[in-house]
C-alpha cells in the first residue's frame, strides 16, 4: 500500500542550529514529492516539491530537500533554524500518472519546536 512515514513526531532544536526532518515513502514507482508546513490553526503552505531532474531541490524560507531513490527518502533540511520555523511539517506524495492523480498522501507530520 502507498504510504508516507515521518518517523519523528516531535523535534526540538536550538535557534541557529541545523535541521533535518525525515520522510520515507512506499510507492509503486517514483512519485511526486512535496513538503508542506502548517502553523497552528492554519492551512498548509507548500515549501518545496520534487517532480524530476536534480535530486536536491530548493524551496522557500531557506529549506531544501534531497530525493534519494535508493532509500525511498525525501528529507527536508535547513542549515540554520529561526524561531519562526516552529510549526508542523508534512511530507506528501502524489501519483505521476494512472491511478489516482487527485490524491496526495500525507505523512502524520513532525512538529518542530525551536529553543531560544
Partner 1 sequence: DTGVSQDPRHKITKRGQNVTFRCDPISEHNRLYWYRQTLGQGPEFLTYFQNEAQLEKSRLLSDRFSAERPKGSFSTLEIQRTEQGDSAMYLCASSSPNRISSYNEQFFGPGTRLTVL
Residues near partner 1 (CB under 8 A) are 4, 32, 34, 36, 41-46, 49, 51-52, 90, 92, 94-97, 100-109
- Residue indicated by cell numbers 519562526: 84
Cβ-based nearer residue to partner 1, 41 or 116? 41
Q: Provide, rounded to whole angstroms, the least separation between the CB of residue 3 and partner 1.
A: 11
Cβ-based nearer residue to partner 1, 69 or 116? 69
Rounded Cα distance, 88 and 40, in Å:
8
Amino acid at each position: 500500500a502507498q504510504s508516507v512515514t515521518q518517523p519523528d513526531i516531535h523535534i526540538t532544536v536550538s535557534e541557529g542550529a541545523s535541521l533535518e526532518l525525515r520522510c520515507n515513502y512506499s510507492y509503486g514507482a517514483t512519485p511526486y514529492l512535496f513538503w508542506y508546513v502548517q502553523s497552528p490553526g492554519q492551512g498548509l503552505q507548500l515549501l518545496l516539491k520534487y517532480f524530476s531532474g536534480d535530486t536536491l531541490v530548493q524551496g522557500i524560507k531557506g529549506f531544501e530537500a534531497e530525493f534519494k531513490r535508493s532509500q525511498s527518502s525525501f528529507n527536508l533540511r535547513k542549515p540554520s533554524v529561526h524561531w519562526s520555523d516552529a510549526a508542523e511539517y508534512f511530507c506528501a506524495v502524489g501519483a505521476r500518472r494512472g491511478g489516482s492523480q487527485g490524491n496526495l498522501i500525507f505523512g502524520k507530520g513532525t512538529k518542530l519546536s525551536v529553543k531560544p
